[in-house]
C-alpha cells in the first residue's frame, strides 16, 4: 500500500519531525511505500531537502505561496503516486492536504493534529469540521490534543490519540553518565517562537541568583529573530549574560543533554513535546510547564516536576530543589528515563501508525473488536 505524508517544509516543528520519522519507518518495514511531501515556505532550507534526498528518502515539494497552488500541485502528485492513504500533518496543512486528497479521490484521509492550540478562525474551524466528516481518522499526538479536538467538535468515533515517540538509540549511554557527575546546568532545547516561554525561565534563573545559585543556562534552538532578540535583551537587563548561552541550532542534542543535569521546557502550550521526551531519555531531572501535552508526559514528583505556566517563582522553587537536593534529582532523572524508554519510543509510535494505515487500507483483514 502507498501512504503520502503532507507537512510543512519549515522543519522547525514537531509535525515535520514526526512525518519524516514515519516515512523512514515505512521504508524500513517494507509493508508500506511512503512519500513525504513538503509545503515550501520562504524559510524552507534547500540543504535540508537535499540531505533527505541523499539519505534515500522519497520526498517531493509543492509551492506554498498560495493555498490554491498548494492544493493543485498536491492533487497532481496524488494522481501520479496514487496513495491509498493521505496523512495531512499539522495546521493549516491538514486543510489543504485533505482538500487535495478529496479532489484526487484518495481512498482514505487522515488528519494529524500536533498541538493543543492553533490559529483556528471561525471560518477555518468550519472547514476543519466539514473535512472531518470526510476523514477516516483524526489523530491527536497526545491525549491532551485528542481532548482538545473533541472540544472543537471533531467526531468522537474517529478521533484517537497516538503519542509521539523519539529515537532512543542516541541515548543508549545515558545510564553511564551519572547525574551527580554532570555539569550542574540547565538546558532548554526549543525554537524561539510565540509558543515557547523562554522569558519565564530567564526570570527564574535571575531569582536563583538572588538565592545564591548561579547555574549555567543553555538555550539550544533556532526560530525567529523577532522572538529570540527580546530574550537576549532580557538576559542583558537582568545581568545574566555570564550565565546564559544562546547555542543556536544544535546538531548533537543527545550529547548536550547527557552532559547536563537539568532539562526545562517552559512553554505556553504543547501537543506532545519531543524535546521534553529527549530530556527524559537523557536521564535529566526534567521540569515542565503544567500545560496539556506536558501533563500527559510528566507525573509531578514521580518522573519530573510540573510548575504553573508563566510563574517564574514556582519554576525557581522547582529548580532550586533539583539543584540543591542531588538525591531527589537523581531519583527524578532515573524515573524520567524509564518513562521515556517504556512509553515514548519511536518504534512504538511507528507501529501504532502503521497498524492504523493498514487497518484503513484493508479493513476486511482486521479482527472485530
Q: What is the pLDDT of residues 234-291, one digit of tens each?
A: 999 999 999 999 999 898 999 999 999 999 999 999 998 999 999 999 999 999 999 9
Please classify residue 226 by burial: count the beta carbons closer than 10 Å to its beta carbon, then call 0-12 exposed, 13-18 middle and 19+ buried.
Answer: exposed
User: Averaged over 43-64, what is the pLDDT?
Assistant: 92
Distance in angstroms (rounded) separating the CA atoms of residues 12 and 15: 9
pLDDT at 369: 38
Residue 12: the pLDDT is: 67
Q: Phi first, then psi: give them for residue 170, nearest 5 degrees.
A: -65, -15
What is the reported pTM?
0.86
The rounded percent of the chain whose pLDDT value lies above 70 is: 98
Where does the pLDDT of residue 368 fall: very low under 50, low under 70, confident under 90, or very high at 90 and above?
very low
Q: What is the pLDDT of residues 192-234, one digit of tens each?
A: 999 999 999 999 999 999 999 999 999 999 888 999 999 999 9
For the chain, give the percent of residues with pLDDT over 90: 90
Rounded CA-CA distance 207/53 in Å is 47
Are 161 and 140 contacting, i.e. CB atoms less than 8 angstroms apart?
Answer: yes
154 contacts 138 by C-beta, under 8 angstroms: yes
What is the structure's pLDDT at 111?
98
- Tell me the C-alpha to C-alpha distance, in Å, between residue 125 and each of 7, 8, 108, 121: 19, 19, 21, 6
Ordered by where they begin, the domains of the chain are 2-165+346-365 (3.40.50.2000), 169-343 (3.40.50.2000)
Give the residue ranges of DSSP H helices in 59-180: 67-81, 93-103, 122-132, 143-152
pLDDT(70) > 70: yes
Ranges of beta strands (E only) in the chain are: 2-8, 33-39, 59-62, 85-89, 108-113, 137-140, 159-161, 183-189, 217-220, 244-248, 260-265, 285-289, 305-307
pLDDT surpassing 70 at residue 366: no
Q: Which long-range contacts (CB under 8 A, 24 or more apart) does 155-159 make?
A: 158/132
Distances (CA, A) of 313 to 31, 184, 303: 51, 20, 21
Task: List pLDDT tens digits, range 293-345.
Answer: 999 999 999 999 999 999 999 999 999 999 999 999 999 999 999 999 999 99
Name the nearest CA neighbour of 164 among 113, 108, 118: 113
Q: What is the pLDDT of residues 8-33, one digit of tens each?
A: 987 767 899 899 999 999 999 999 99
| Mean pLDDT of the chain, nearest integer | 95
Place of cell 493549516: 92
Residue keyed to cell 493555498: 67
- Determine the Cα–Cα distance for residues 115 and 172; give it in Å rounded to an integer: 29
Amino acid at each position: 500500500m502507498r501512504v503520502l505524508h503532507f507537512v510543512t517544509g519549515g522543519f522547525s516543528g514537531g509535525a515535520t519531525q514526526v512525518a519524516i520519522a514515519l516515512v523512514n519507518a515505512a521504508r524500513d518495514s517494507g509493508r508500506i511505500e511512503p512519500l513525504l511531501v513538503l509545503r515550501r515556505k520562504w524559510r524552507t532550507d534547500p540543504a535540508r531537502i537535499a540531505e533527505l534526498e541523499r539519505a534515500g528518502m522519497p520526498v517531493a515539494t509543492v509551492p506554498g505561496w498560495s493555498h490554491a497552488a498548494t492544493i493543485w500541485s498536491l492533487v497532481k502528485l496524488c494522481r501520479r503516486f496514487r496513495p491509498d492513504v493521505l496523512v495531512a500533518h499539522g495546521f493549516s496543512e491538514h486543510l489543504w492536504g485533505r482538500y487535495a486528497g478529496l479532489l484526487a479521490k484518495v481512498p482514505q484521509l487522515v488528519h494529524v493534529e500536533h498541538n493543543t492550540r492553533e490559529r483556528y478562525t471561525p471560518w477555518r474551524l468550519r472547514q476543519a469540521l466539514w473535512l472531518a466528516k470526510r476523514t477516516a481518522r483524526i489523530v491527536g499526538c497526545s491525549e491532551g490534543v485528542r481532548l482538545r479536538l473533541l472540544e472543537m467538535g471533531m467526531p468522537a468515533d474517529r478521533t484517537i490519540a497516538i503519542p509521539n515517540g523519539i529515537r532512543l538509540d542516541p541515548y543508549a549511554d545515558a545510564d553511564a553518565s551519572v547525574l551527580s557527575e554532570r555539569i550542574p546546568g540547565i538546558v532548554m532545547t526549543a525554537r524561539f517562537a510565540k509558543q515557547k516561554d523562554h522569558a519565564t525561565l530567564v526570570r527564574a534563573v535571575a531569582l536563583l541568583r538572588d538565592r545564591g545559585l548561579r547555574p549555567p543556562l543553555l538555550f539550544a534552538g533556532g526560530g525567529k529573530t523577532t522572538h529570540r532578540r527580546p530574550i537576549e535583551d532580557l538576559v542583558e537587563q537582568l545581568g545574566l549574560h555570564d550565565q546564559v548561552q544562546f547555542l543556536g541550532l544544535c546538531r548533537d542534542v543527545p550529547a548536550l543533554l547527557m552532559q547536563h543535569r537539568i532539562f526545562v521546557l517552559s512553554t505556553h502550550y504543547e501537543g506532545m513535546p519531543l524535546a521534553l521526551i529527549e530530556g527524559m531519555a537523557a536521564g535529566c531531572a526534567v521540569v515542565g510547564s503544567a500545560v496539556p501535552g506536558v501533563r500527559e508526559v510528566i507525573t509531578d514528583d514521580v518522573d519530573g516536576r510540573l510548575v504553573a505556566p508563566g510563574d517564574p517563582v514556582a519554576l525557581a522553587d522547582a529548580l532550586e530543589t533539583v539543584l540543591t537536593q542531588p538525591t531527589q534529582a537523581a531519583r527524578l532523572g532515573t524515573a524520567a528515563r524509564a518513562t521515556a524508554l517504556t512509553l515514548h519510543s519511536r518504534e512504538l509510535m511507528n507501529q501504532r501508525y502503521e497498524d492504523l494505515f493498514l487497518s484503513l487500507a484493508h479493513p476486511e483483514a482486521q479482527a472485530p473488536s
